[in-house]
Chain A
Amino acid sequence: MGDLRSSVQVPVTVLVNGRSYTVDVEPRLLLVHLLRDVLGLTGTHIGCDTSQCGACTVLVDGKAVKSCTMLAVQADGCSVTTIEGIGSVENLHPVQEGFWEKHGLQCGFCTPGVIMAAADLLRQHPNPTDEEIREGLEGVICRCTGYQNIVRAVRYAAERMQSADGEVEVAATAGLDRGEGSQGGATS
């Protein structure tokens, strides 16, 4: 408060979704604002500002971080993956696919962050139980889904990624997915 300070811009180079950007930014520019306002990557959202909700989650050097709690200058020299870069409609990441298959989203606003956080959760725990998924999602808040279908989505992705590891199992996966899907609304 009070005194106004001059804000000398500093150059930042980041590799975002495989593309290198060098831009001059105010040191106080948050990474999320660099992505959204400067680079126009509006898939990453801001939900809470106090580092609770995880809507702003992106991968920095492969690890999930909250881009509202990181300065753009701190990402200088880093590789950033956003929701726009993790997969495409034609070639969905297994977590994205899981969210679609299992109705893991409603309004979609938290979804990009939840997907990015879930991707890192599966990197750290490739085969989590439902309970581990719920614990692992501590850093995301969803107001719509009640989380159950997010848990299903992450489990779907885990199964998908596990079987993709061994190529021989790929064929079996489809059957597995159908089996899970048919359980539908019952408790699982």
Chain B
Amino acid sequence: MSATVFGSQVKRREDPRFITGRGRYTDDVQLPGMLYAAILRSPHAHARIASIDTSKAAQLPGVVRVYTGADLQDRMGTIPTAWLPPESDIKTVAHPALAVDTVRYVGDGVAMVVATDRYTARDALDQIHVRYEVLQAVAEQELAMAPGAPQLHADAPNNIAFHWKVGNATDEVFAQAEVVVRHRIRQQRLVPNPMEPRASAAQYDPSTGELTVWVTSQNPHIHRFILSGVLGVPEHKLRVVATDVGGGFGAKIAVYPDEALVGFAARDLGRPVKWTEDRREHFLATTHGRDQVEDIELAGTRDGTLTAIRVKALANMGAYLSTAAPGVPTILFGLIVPGPYQIPYAGADVYGVFTNTTPTDAYRGAGRPEATYLLERMVDLFAREIGMDPVEVRRKNLIPKDAFPYHNAMGLEYDSGDYHRALNRALEMAGYADFRARQQQLRAAGRYVGVGCTTYVEICGLGPSQVAGAVGFQGGLWESSTVRVHPSGKVTVFTGASPHGQGEETTFAQIVASKLHIPVEDIEVIHGDTARIAMGWGTYGSRTTPVGGSALAVATDRVIEKAKKIAAHMLEVSEADVEFVDGSFQAKGAPQRRASFQDVTLQAYLAWNLPAGVEPGLEASAFYDPANFTYSFGTHLCMVEVDAETGDVTIDRYIAVDDCGRVINPMIAEGQVHGGIVQGIGQALYEGAVYDDQAQLLTGTWMDYAMPKARFFPNFETAFTETPSPHNPLGVKGIGETGTIAATPTVVNAVLDALAPFGVREIPMPLTPQRVWQAIQNGREAE
């Protein structure tokens, strides 16, 4: 095995257990004497709880305990918010694990039943009688801010949770601009819908006082940190396990009332307790994503130069501020509004608004898809306004490769990029010029094809911690890694990142294998267990590889450094004269004097003859704090055909050229892009959570909420360019969110390009056939 394992297509090491049904997800945890919890959820969006009668439920055979908010309010803490953007006058409001006197969204927890089996627990919910005094509810952020709207929280007047501003774009800049395009966009609400519903199981050991909580989490250490406070269990007595997690997409970042309740009950009852949401519950009780209304202005000149962009956004936060929620429509959104273009002036003015809906939080991309969508839609509208090809507008304004590091108008420092290279590659793959010619012919024949383009840049590799602090994230954003070399030369790696499908059991092994020149089979990557990993911040924000992978690289280098000392001693040469080549330590200039890696690891543990000052053993840790964010970028292109008679959109081709710096495993990177694209197209064409005016969720199952299915898509055409990041030792950037960020505007731009002959400028997402058809009708009438 050589260093080329970095960058090669290694089959995933995690797969054998998954393809044979041996994964161990939270709901798979079964313990002797285990009880099952079920949570009664409010059917009303806003109501006072007049009374709760649990007596009938409690008498049901098999029911062990029924808890209400009143039972718990003095026995456990409330669920906190952990991202407080500075200078935003943020109103954090306590979210009790079970509602005490008021429910504020459909799905708000009201009572919990613990019973001997799932079926009994479910039956018991029907036997709890709650008398509600129904209050006026509001689901929509603009209505919630209007005078006379129902007020959710006493200390948040007009339902304003926070108000955050950034940027240098002034009224004057727009007043003096040659061209200003103004537009309103609604980013509909989405439901993350990882395939594995959320679940939690807990076991309390009274002899040690240790509470173990299995939970569907992207960040078990954050869970431990917060649950420790909520439950009053000290961190050293609290173990959180999230080894196999069936997807997260942001929805498993937050700490929810449910896992706190399960932990509480396990300790209170002295028996293991498990709770698993069903899909209907997921729709009601797991955080949603997006949901912004944006008014945007883009200024430029007639020759196609962009000069300023600003957005006023109203972000629907739901009834409470979920764990990371306030950071999403602010930091992760506002700072990247100018995107990959040289736009000297930019601004974002964001209101976070409480409504009687399920709380929103991160959803794959988290803020960056919203920013990219509005920018890319605006660029197309601007191009249309000045009569220029939208690709040419992009080419003209993209930051040139010699301008890096580049400071955008919001103060972010983009590390590296060659944006034009990705654009040119994508255009070449697509045959863009030919398509434009063919489009004219087809239009003449009554067929409506269109092409959409997105050039994007995204903030990834969330870190460093100093920045985290400056932007109000209530945690660090470094990552930890420990590399433990065993006497035989086999290696166990412990990472504080918490992959849940992204394949780091493989790519992290590749990082180590390439440095130690050992087979990936000799390396085991351990994650997702606070008892085995000292500390970590988890997997989100495309940070796992740039931050967690870099921590691993640093730790591995430390192992090599120590091994070199031992090898030098073994070979009787000075440390400076030892080099590590193809898996052996050898004397410079005398390669026949060598010791294999395994010889050295064995000596490290035998410790019969170590150099002075060197301790036995071979293990190193790194707590790596990155120099800065890193910025992936790329160009996506899509060709669609619209059936003007029915409004159906067919995606004919989809081309993605992404640059995530150095690619560790092209197969896995491509897989991330595929999945991201489908989620991005999901927002463009299919998905959308809809509330009625009483804030009842109308799309609460997969019978109504359209999850993307295989037959909706063609095979995608993907490619990578590689522009290493100077911000981390591996030169890597993130790839987990790029597809989602780029695909939504790409597809919508393509559909609107196809419908240009009808003068259609806007169709609200998702672009369902009816909406497309209606837009065509309206366009026809206008003619």
Residues of A within 8 A of B (CB): 1-2, 4, 26, 28-29, 33, 36-37, 40-50, 52-53, 55, 82-84, 87-89, 92, 96, 99-101, 103, 105-112, 115, 130-131, 133-135, 137-138, 140-151, 181, 184-188
The reply to whether B12 and A146 contact each other, CB–CB distance below 8 Å, is: no
The digit string for B40-73, where 1 denotes a CB below 8 A from any CB of A, is 0000000000000000000010000000000000
Check if A185 sits within 8 Å of B678, measured CB to CB.
no
- Once the chains bind, are B118 and A137 in contact (CB under 8 Å)? no
User: How distant is A37 from chain B, measured CB to nearest CB, in Å?
Assistant: 7
Known contacts A43-B22, A47-B197, A53-B195; A143/B679 CB under 8 A: yes
Query: 1/0 contact trace for B710-752 toward A, CB 8 Å?
Result: 1101011111100000000000000000010000000000000
* Residue B88 CB within 8 A of the other chain: no
| A134 with B710: CB separation less than 8 A | yes
Known A50-B702, A50-B703; judge A142-B195 contact (CB<8 A): yes
CB pair B716 A53 closer than 8 Å: no
B697 to chain A, nearest CB (A): 15
Looking at the complex, which one of B60, B247, B703, B718 makes contact with A109 (CB distance below 8 Å)?
Answer: B247
B273 to chain A, nearest CB (A): 15
Q: Let me know if A145 and B671 touch, CB within 8 A.
A: yes
A92 in contact with B118 given A147-B678, A147-B713 (CB within 8 Å): no
Q: A187-B716, A187-B717 are in contact. Are A28 and B20 (CB under 8 A)?
A: no
Q: A41-B21, A42-B28, A130-B715 in contact; A107/B500 too (CB < 8 A)?
A: yes
Contacts of A115 in B (CB 8 A): 19
Evaluate contact between A108 and B676: CB separation under 8 angstroms.
no
Within 8 Å CB of A108, what residues of B? 14-15, 17-19, 23, 244, 246, 501
B229 at the interface (CB under 8 A from A): no
13 inter-chain pairs at a CB distance below 8 angstroms, sorted by A residue, are A37-B30, A42-B25, A48-B701, A82-B21, A106-B247, A108-B19, A109-B194, A111-B19, A142-B710, A148-B713, A148-B715, A151-B710, A187-B716
B664-692 toward A: CB 8 Å interface, digit per residue (1/0)? 00111011011111110000000000000
B709 and A141 contacting across the interface, CB-CB below 8 Å: yes
Given A40-B30, A185-B719, also A52-B20 (CB < 8 A): no
Chain A residue contacts of B278, Cβ below 8 A: 46, 49
**A64 to B12 CA separation, bound complex (whole angstroms):** 27
Instruction: Report whether B19 and A106 are in contact in the complex, using a CB–CB cutoff of 8 Å.
Output: no
B710 touches A143 (CB 8 A): no
In whole angstroms, how far apart are the Cα atoms of A20 and B679 in the complex?
42
The answer to whether B719 and A83 touch across the interface, beta carbons within 8 angstroms, is no
Is B707 positioned at the interface, with any CB of A under 8 Å from its CB? yes
Q: Which of B19, B20, B279 has the most CB of A within 10 A?
A: B19
Chain A residues, Cβ within 8 Å of B60: 4
- List B58-93 residues whose CB lies under 8 Å from chain A: 60
Q: Is the CB of B717 within 8 A of A44?
A: no
For this complex, into which size category does the number of interface residues on chain B fall? 35 or more
Q: Is A185 a contact of B711 with CB atoms below 8 Å?
A: no
Tell me if B196 and A137 are in contact (CB < 8 A): no
Q: Please determine whether B194 and A107 come into contact, CB atoms closer than 8 angstroms.
A: yes
Q: Are B675 and A106 in contact (CB under 8 A)?
A: yes
19 further A-B contacts with Cβ under 8 Å, apart from A133-B710, A142-B195, A185-B720, are A4-B127, A28-B119, A37-B117, A46-B27, A52-B707, A82-B21, A84-B20, A103-B668, A106-B247, A106-B671, A106-B675, A107-B247, A137-B710, A143-B249, A144-B195, A145-B675, A149-B671, A184-B666, A184-B667
Partner of B21, one of A2, A44, A137: A44
CA separation between A148 and B681, bound complex, in Å? 14
Chain B residue with Cβ nearest A88 = B20
B123 pairs with A110, CB closer than 8 A: no
B434 proximity list for chain A (CB < 8 A):
none
Determine how close the nearest CB of chain B comes to the CB of A110; give it in whole angstroms.
5
Contact A146/B675 with A107-B500, A107-B501 known, Cβ cut-off 8 Å: yes
B206 at the interface (CB under 8 A from A): no
Bound form: Cα–Cα A44–B23 in Å: 10
Whether the Cβ atoms of A109 and B196 lie closer than 8 Å is yes
B514 at interface, CB cutoff 8 A: no
Q: Is there contact, CB below 8 Å, between B711 and A134?
A: yes
A47–B677 touching, CB < 8 Å: no
Q: Which residue of A lies closest to B707 (CB)?
A: A141
Q: Does B11 belong to the interface (CB within 8 Å)?
A: yes
B600 interface contact, C-beta 8 A: no
Residues of B within 8 A of A149 (CB): 671, 674
Contact code string B1-45 (vs A, CB < 8 Å = 1, else 0)? 000000001011011111111111101101000000000000000
- B21, B193, B667: the one contacting A83 at CB < 8 Å is B21
Which of B666, B674, B713, B720 has the most chain A CB atoms closer than 10 A to its own CB? B674
Total A-B residue contacts, Cβ distance less than 8 Å: 209
Scan residues 483-515 of chain B and give those whose CB is less than 8 A from a CB of chain A.
500-503
Q: Name B244-290 residues within 8 Å CB distance of A.
A: 244-247, 249, 276, 278-280
Considering only CB atoms, which chain B residue lies closest to A140 in the complex?
A: B710
Residue of A nearest to B656 (CB): A185
Cβ-based interface call for B126 (8 A): yes
Measured CA separation A39–B440 after assembly (Å): 62
Which chain B residues border A4 with CB–CB below 8 Å?
Answer: 60, 123, 127
| Complex contact A89–B675 (CB within 8 A) | no
Q: Are B715 and A143 in contact (CB under 8 A)?
A: no
Tell me, rounded to whole Å, the shortest Cβ–Cβ distance linking B544 to chain A: 13
Tell me how far the C-beta of B365 lies from the nearest C-beta in chain A, rounded to whole angstroms: 14
**For residue A37, which residues in chain B have a CB less than 8 angstroms away from its CB?**
30, 117-118
Separation of A53 and B282 alpha carbons in the complex (Å):
14
Distance, CA A184 to CA B17, complexed state (A) = 24
Most B-side CB within 10 Å, residue of A4, A33, A101: A4
Across-interface contacts of A103 in B (CB, < 8 A): 11-12, 667-668, 670-671
| Chain B residues near A1 (CB-CB < 8 A) | 126
- Whether the Cβ atoms of A87 and B709 lie closer than 8 Å is no
Contact in complex: A47, B195 (CB < 8 Å): yes
Given A4-B127, A105-B18, A107-B247, A50 and B279 touching (CB < 8 A)? yes
Q: Of A40, A99, A145, which is within 8 A of B15 by CB?
A: A99
In the assembled complex, how far is the CB of residue B707 from the closest CB belonging to chain A, in whole angstroms? 5
Which residue of chain A has the shortest Cβ distance to B18 in the bound complex? Answer: A108
* C-alpha gap A142/B249 in the complex (Å): 13
Q: Are B195 and A89 in contact (CB under 8 A)?
A: no
Residue of A nearest to B502 (CB): A106
Chain A neighbourhood of B195, CB < 8 A: 45, 47, 53, 55, 107, 109-110, 141-144
Query: Which 9 pairs across A and B sit closest by C-beta, in order of nearness?
Result: A43-B21, A109-B246, A107-B501, A108-B18, A146-B674, A83-B21, A106-B501, A146-B678, A42-B28
Once bound together, how far apart are the Cα atoms of A137 and B720, in whole Å?
Answer: 29
Most chain B CB within 10 A, of A44, A103, A151, is at: A103
Q: Is the CB of A96 within 8 A of B20?
A: yes
Contact of B18 among A46, A111, A137 (CB under 8 A): A111
Contact B666 A185 (CB under 8 A): yes
User: Complex formed: what's the CA distance from A87 to B21 in Å?
Assistant: 10
Chain A residues with Cβ under 8 A from B194's Cβ?
A: 107, 109, 143
Bound CA–CA A107/B28 (angstroms): 15
B503 touches A106 (CB 8 A): yes
The 8 Å CB contact of A135, one of B118, B244, B711, is B711
Select B197's contact among A46, A83, A144, A188, beta carbons within 8 Å: A46
A40 and B715 alpha carbons, distance in the complex (Å)? 38
Chain B hits for A109, CB < 8 A: 23, 25, 194-196, 246-247
Q: Which chain A residue has the least Cβ–Cβ distance from B720?
A: A185
Q: How far is the CA of A133 from the CA of B677 in the complex (A)?
A: 19
Complex Cα spacing A81 to B566, Å: 54
B residues in contact with A105, CB < 8 Å: 12, 15, 18-19
A135 vs B676: C-alpha distance when bound (angstroms): 21
- With A44-B21, A45-B25, A145-B675 already in contact, the answer to whether A107 and B707 are too (CB < 8 A) is no
Which listed residue (A28, A89, A138) contacts B710, Cβ 8 A?
Answer: A138
- List A contacts of B16 (CB < 8 A): 89, 100
Q: State A113–B22 Cα separation when bound (angstroms).
A: 13
